[in-house]
Amino acid sequence: MTAAPTAPAAATGPDPAPDAVPAIELRDLTRSFPGPPEVQALKGVNVSVADGEYVAITGPSGSGKSTMLNILGLLDRPTVGEYRLGGVLTGTLTEDQRAAVRARQLGFVFQAFHLMSRRTVLENVLLPMLYSGTPRAQREPRAREALQRVGLDHRVDFLPGTLSGGERQRVAVARAVATRPRVLLADEPTGNLDQATSGEIMALFEELHADGLTLVVITHDEGVARRASRRIRLADGRVSPAA
Ligand SMILES: Nc1ncnc2c1ncn2[C@@H]1O[C@H](COP(=O)(O)OP(=O)(O)OP(=O)(O)O)[C@@H](O)[C@H]1O
């Protein structure tokens, strides 16, 4: 892993914060599943994540974490309320527009890696760039750069099945960042990893954060949550005040 943290961009005005557009903004967001019985998985949630923030979402089983991540990932829509991504209201976008925004602005890392087993490491990292609008000539250099970034440039021609769990997750991180997303969404990224390997993934997230990427990580793991710069606690579909 080659850490190349850069300082956040210097402020250009005396007080840029009030005008800064948040990376993510949820306003009075509710998600109900009709049932019966109807379940309100999220109940009037308000959340703002600044550009470049590293946020952990925690909460007990059933508190609404996956529901929130599905909405943040444009994989689901709220029943009521607004979700703005980079200031853009997502509720009015068509499905095609949402798919385009997802491919260009969001990167995903999952607990179970979700790599394509018959494709090489390099091919796995190349694939999302087909959909993200990355110019053809830039795809392979960017994929190789991302793999170098996660310390796997010596594994580009391997199949995922020949890699360790930690290496697979590093491929998944490379795949997620190769498209240069605005926000990285991770769902229990260390759930299938031992403690030492989890630490490697967390160190990688910290490097990406230092480079200015916005990260939102769902986790059950206290150790992982502590590494984020802010924690959002969900309880029964609501954001609970910080302890
Ligand atoms: N498609 C669905 N239909 C009906 N109810 C649902 C659906 N998806 C989620 N729920 C309900 O919404 C609530 C929140 O679920 P969610 O999966 O978001 O919780 P979670 O915090 O991610 O839980 P876990 O940590 O166990 O993954 C739960 O009561 C769940 O049963």
d(CA 232, CA 229): 10
Q: What is the pLDDT of residue 18?
A: 54
Distance from Cα 73 to the centre of ligand 1, integer Å: 16
d(CA 12, CA 27): 28
What's the pLDDT tens digit per position in 147-186? 999 999 999 999 999 999 999 999 999 999 999 999 999 9
**Residue 155: both structure tokens together:** 């594994």
Order of strands, sheet of 106-110, starting from the edge strand that comes earlier in the sequence = 106-110, 183-187, 214-218, 54-58, 230-235, 238-240
d(CA 163, CA 81): 42
Q: What is the pLDDT of residue 163?
A: 95
d(CA 66, CA 70): 6
d(CA 18, CA 50): 11
ipTM of the complex: 0.97
**Residue 77: both structure tokens together:** 């829509």
Residues β-bridged to residue 234:
239
How does the average pLDDT of the chain come out, rounded?
Answer: 90
Q: What is the pLDDT of residue 124?
A: 97
Mutate to test the pocket of ligand 1, among 31, 32, 33, 239 (most ligand atoms within 8 A of CB): 33
In a domain, 78, yes or no: yes
The 8-class DSSP code of residue 161 comes to G
Mutate to test the pocket of ligand 1, among 57, 63, 217, 239 (most ligand atoms within 8 A of CB): 63
In a domain, 5, yes or no: no
Pairing between strand 214-218 and 183-187?
parallel
d(CA 121, CA 186): 19
Within 13 A of 127's CA, how many CA atoms are on the CB side? Answer: 14
Distance from Cα 71 to the centre of ligand 1, integer Å: 13
Residue closest via CA to ligand 1's atom 1 equals 33
In a domain, 13, yes or no: no
At residue 23, what are phi and psi to the nearest 5 degrees?
-65, -40
Atom of ligand 1 nearest to the CA of 40: 12
In a domain, 15, yes or no: no
List the alpha helices (DSSP H) in the chain: 65-72, 95-105, 121-131, 136-149, 165-178, 195-210, 222-227
103 close to 116: Cβ distance less than 8 angstroms: no
Mean pLDDT (10-residue bins), the chain, 243 residues: 41 53 96 94 96 95 94 97 96 94 94 93 94 92 94 94 93 94 95 88 93 95 90 94 62
Which residues constitute the domain of residue 167? 21-240
For the chain, the straight-line distance linking the first and the last C-alpha, in angstroms and rounded, comes to 35
What is the reported pTM?
A: 0.89
CATH number where 199 lies? 3.40.50.300
d(CA 185, CA 26): 15
Looking at the 3D structure of the chain, how many domains does it have? 1
Determine how many CB atoms are found less than 10 A away from the CB of residue 179: 24
d(CA 134, CA 125): 12
In a domain, 229, yes or no: yes
